């Protein structure tokens, strides 16, 4: 079983040996390995049971340490990096030959980010290689936002979980690329559309990558973040007319419902705070999954700011 602890030296030692360990970031916990070690990268795919076509994000602690791995970086990417790193933004940039093809699943672009969690930054600064890290959950399942979440599912497959407490953001990073003078967002996350647009200015459009487009977005698989039970999204009062109250778990934004047992419902933020809702959404799905209910009924949150990322995760949890 994985040891859970907060010793950076232990994590660093294992990573130098080519082992895979879970690390905290401000978004979600990552399953980290030496990005330059074929053995470590292969082990990440194996532990997650991740399809080989789904590429990984490379993490460092400083921009100058990323530069050997990327080329033709557009000006606007530097602006975004300066504004949001360290932080929950991942940039898709042209890769150099120093990035192993296994990290990018053969793509000419590599996803890079500098995380904001102090333990992650300290760990990265002590290593002389970048870390590649997908979310530390089995492929297709809910992402982990505590060390216990990681240990519960991957504990038997990895030696160490570096415990940095509950994740402050709670949903993954926003992923953005650069195409034809536009910023193209592949996944909404911790940095919002409003923040991106304000940073790049009105002259540069910020658009969402439509999944109907010719270029596939690897990993943007419709079904993801899926708990054990079917997740049904809608107006909760209407859904409660159609589903037996004793068989449902409720995931609401603010309200609780007297028809359903208290232990079977989670209100993400009674005060209506989207940041708090983002912190709690994955934990709430994990909690409800463990209750003796046959369905999880969920409602969308306001589709603004980080609410877009929350709604995206709920839609994917509900997709089949």
Q: At what angle do helices 274-289 and 307-318 cross, to 10 degrees?
A: 20
Which one of Mg ion, ligand TXA, none interacts with residue 107, CB within 5 to 8 A by kind? Answer: ligand TXA
Q: Which of the choices Mg ion, ligand TXA, none does residue 219 contact, using the CB cut-off of 5 to 8 A by kind? A: ligand TXA
- How many positions of this chain bind Mg ion (CB under 5 A)? 1
Task: Considering the complex, state which of residue 231 and residue 250 has its C-beta at the smaller distance from Mg ion.
Answer: 231
Q: Which residues bind ligand TXA (CB under 6 A)?
A: 25, 27-28, 30, 54-57, 88, 90, 92, 104, 107, 109-111, 113, 115, 133-135, 172-173, 175, 186, 218-220
**Binding range to Mg ion, per CB under 5 A, among 88-96, 134-142, 163-171, 284-292:** 134-142
Minimum CB–partner distance for residue 187 and ligand TXA (Å) = 6
Distance between CA 14 and CA 121 in Å, rounded? Answer: 17
**Closest residue to ligand TXA, Cβ-based?**
219
CB of 144 to Mg ion, least distance (A): 10
CA distances from 309 to 153, 155, 169, 258, 305 (A): 24, 28, 11, 28, 8
Neighbours of 17 (CB within 10 A): 12
Dist. CA 102–CA 111, nearest whole Å: 12
- Toward ligand TXA, which CB reaches closer, 175 or 306? 175
By CB under 5 A, residue 135 contacts Mg ion: yes
111 vs 250, beta carbon nearer ligand TXA: 111
25 touches Mg ion by CB under 5 A:
no
Minimum CB–partner distance for residue 237 and Mg ion (Å):
32
- CB-CB contact of 178 with 196 (8 Å): no
**Whole-angstrom Cα distance, residue 285 to residue 171?**
13
Closest C-alpha among 117, 99, 120, 119 to residue 109: 99
Map residues 82-121 to x or -, x wherever contact with Mg ion holds by CB under 5 A.
----------------------------------------
**CB closest to Mg ion, residue no:** 135
Contact partners, residue 307, CB within 8 Å, separation at least 6? 274, 277, 301
Tell me which of ligand TXA, Mg ion, none is bound by residue 27, counting a contact when its beta carbon lies within the kind-specific cut-off of 5 to 8 angstroms. ligand TXA
Say if residues 177 and 35 touch (Cβ distance below 8 Å): no
56 binds, among ligand TXA, Mg ion, none (CB under 5 to 8 A by kind): ligand TXA
Q: Which does 30 bind (CB under 5 to 8 A by kind): ligand TXA, Mg ion, none?
A: ligand TXA
Q: Which residues bind to Mg ion, rule: CB under 5 A?
A: 135
């Amino acid at each position: 079983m994985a040891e859970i602890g907060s010793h950076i030296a232990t994590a660093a030692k294992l990573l130098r040996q080519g082992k895979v360990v879970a690390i905290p970031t401000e978004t979600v916990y990552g399953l980290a390995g030496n990005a330059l070690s074929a053995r470590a990268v292969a082990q990440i795919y194996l532990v997650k049971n991740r399809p080989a076509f789904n590429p990984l994000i490379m993490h460092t602690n400083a921009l100058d340490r990323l530069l050997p791995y990327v080329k033709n970086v557009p000006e606007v990417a530097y602006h975004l990096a300066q504004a949001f790193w360290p932080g929950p933004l991942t940039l898709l940039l042209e890769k150099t030959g120093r990035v192993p093809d296994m990290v990018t699943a053969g793509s000419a672009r590599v996803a890079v980010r500098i995380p904001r969690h102090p333990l992650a930054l300290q760990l990265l600064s002590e290593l002389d290689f970048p870390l590649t890290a997908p979310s530390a959950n089995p492929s297709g399942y809910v992402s982990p936002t505590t060390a216990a979440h990681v240990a519960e599912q991957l504990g038997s497959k990895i030696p160490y979980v570096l415990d940095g407490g509950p994740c402050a953001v709670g949903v993954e990073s926003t992923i953005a690329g650069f195409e034809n003078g536009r910023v193209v967002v592949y996944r909404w996350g911790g940095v919002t559309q409003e923040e991106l647009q304000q940073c790049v200015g009105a002259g540069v459009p910020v658009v969402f990558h439509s999944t109907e487009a010719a270029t596939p977005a690897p990993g943007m698989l419709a079904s993801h973040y899926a708990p054990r039970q079917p997740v049904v999204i809608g107006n909760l009062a209407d859904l409660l007319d159609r589903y037996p109250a004793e068989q449902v778990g409720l995931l609401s934004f603010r309200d609780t419902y007297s028809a359903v047992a208290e232990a079977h419902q989670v209100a993400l933020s009674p005060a209506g705070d989207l940041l708090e809702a983002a912190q709690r959404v994955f934990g709430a799905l994990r909690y409800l999954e463990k209750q003796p209910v046959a369905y999880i009924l969920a409602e969308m949150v306001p589709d603004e700011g980080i609410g877009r990322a929350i709604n995206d995760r709920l839609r994917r949890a509900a997709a089949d």
